[in-house]
Amino acid sequence: MTIDVVVPTLGRPSLSALLEALASGSVTPARIVVVDDRRRAAVPLLPAGAPGTLADRLTIARGRAAGPAAARNVGWRLSSAEWVAFLDDDVVPAADWFDALQADLVDQPRGVGGSQGRIVVPLPTDRRPTDWERNVKGLETARWATADMAYRRAALEAVGGFDERFPRAYREDADLALRVQHAGWRLLRGRRSVLHPARPVDRWISVRVQAGNADDALMRARHGPSWRAHAGIPPGRRLRHLAVTTAGLAAVVAVALGRRRAGATAAVLWAAGTARFAWTRIAPGPRTRAEIATMLATSVAIPPVATWYWLLGWRRVGGRPAHAGGRPRAVLFDRDGTLVVDVPYNGDPTRVVPVPGARAALDRLRAAGVRVAVVSNQSGVGRGLLGHEQVEAVNRRIEGLLGPLGPWLVCPHVPEAGCGCRKPSPALVLRAAEALGVEPWECALIGDTGADVESARAAGARSVLVPNTVTRREEIAAAPEVAPDLGAAIDLLLGVRR
């Protein structure tokens, strides 16, 4: 069993403490991948001489400053270990953490895809905790939090890793856990533990974190209205925030229209709702003058800010599920094994052979006015087995045999490169949708592997799997829609019954 550790970071000072804790253990990781996700690396990530004994095991990779989901994808795709353990850069592992991690993972059955460590949030002993400290304390009961979460690499590959549409540390871990479980893997709790201190913050932190409401809209679109129950997340205050915000707006509008009595009634409702919310936050806290002032100010701001972000997120997903069903406006195709017979690392146009019925099926799609594109992994380029011009020559030959296929979106990288475009990443699907002038949920992707299905799922598109001799049974079982051949897949998308 091999385990690599991945830590995304924004350069917090706590990173050094984390690495020192890992170095102090009797058993240490063989490899630690730290993903530097800062926009600008103005100062060194680590002090000179850090991390000491782990220097020969440490890999520092550059992230794209696209959030922790994208940074973790960079990290685990650089790993070749059987298991990948994710830690946040503000936790402190126990001295025996890695030894305990090995004990949690050793001899786990193949159906186990992940293991969560215990998160301990220390609170002050000389006073009541603040609102922010109580918020962080909630991590102790959170399910599948990536502050300390290990995944089997095969599970990450099966679902395409983290969905990079989650731009902040909020719901990206719950989304991944639900998708891994949906793909048939089990997640367990381990015995290892990390400390997660509540870091110092300014008084407006509780307002800024309301941006996560936009991610809640995406969670509902992807996993349905019961997503909170499935993820073990308590009900939120959305309806109360909406009611308070509506009352406040109604008061302003009524006064502007000269309807003072209605405005006064709405203002009373707004004040009552705001006061109740503030008291629920003040009562369990230290009740210092500074804390009370912060709770009053932020309790006024939170309901409209939370509502705004929820509406913004809902607008981005269009109020629709991950894919809207029905006839798509665009169909994207995997290339090898889907449109043409798979010839590994083919750079010779004369060896192109379309799959049976491909031309007729594509002609039906074009006649229906559906746009098309191709999304293809071509790692032969990254391996030095092909040149870009050879890939393009093969693509031209395919179009000569099958007709125009719209834009070609190709990832030339090897899996170990940790790029953000290789399927099962959603990047090629998202870029194809943009090039075709449609929304991702208006697309469907036809392919022959689980990577194609997960690429579509991660982008919010529909997918149809057309299995062949290389398609694994578990990929077929996990696919939402399966067709016996390309023609049947297109009939399914067009709603044609034969």
Instruction: Report residue 368 as tokens.
Output: 């229906």
Residue from 148, 173, 336, 452 carrying the catalytic annotation: 336
CA count, 13 A, side-chain hemisphere, 418: 21
Q: What share of the chain is helix, strand, coil (3-state, %, to 5)?
A: 45, 15, 40
CA distances from 50 to 55, 96, 194, 196 (A): 7, 20, 21, 21
Instruction: Please choose, from the candidates 119, 125, 166, 451, the residue with its C-alpha nearest in 3D space to the C-alpha of residue 313.
Output: 166
CA distance 395 to 470: 22
- Sequence-distant (6+) residues with CB within 8 A of 213 are 238, 306, 307, 309, 310, 313
Residue 417's identity, in one-letter code, is A
CA distances from 244 to 190, 247, 248, 250, 258 (A): 41, 5, 6, 10, 21
Residue 31's H or E segment, with its range, is strand 31-36
Phi and psi at 387, nearest 5°, equal -105, 160
Instruction: Please choose, from the candidates 167, 212, 170, the residue with its C-alpha nearest in 3D space to the C-alpha of residue 308.
Output: 212
CA distance 388 to 404: 20
Residue 118's identity, in one-letter code, is R
Instruction: Please choose, from the candidates 289, 35, 73, the residue with its C-alpha nearest in 3D space to the C-alpha of residue 161.
Output: 73
Residue 464's H or E segment, with its range, is strand 462-465
Residue from 173, 175, 334, 448 carrying the catalytic annotation: 334
CA distances from 215 to 197, 218, 223, 316, 317 (A): 25, 5, 12, 10, 10
Assess whether 336 carries a catalytic annotation.
yes
Instruction: Report residue 430 as tokens.
Output: 């998202």
CA distance 42 to 36: 12
Do the strands 83-87 and 92-93 form a parallel or antiparallel pair, or are they unpaired? unpaired
Q: Are 57 and 32 in contact (CB under 8 A)?
A: yes
Q: Considering just the CA atoms, what is the radius of gyration of the chain in Å?
A: 25
* CB atoms closer than 10 angstroms to residue 30: 11
Assess whether 163 carries a catalytic annotation.
no
Active-site residue set: 334, 336
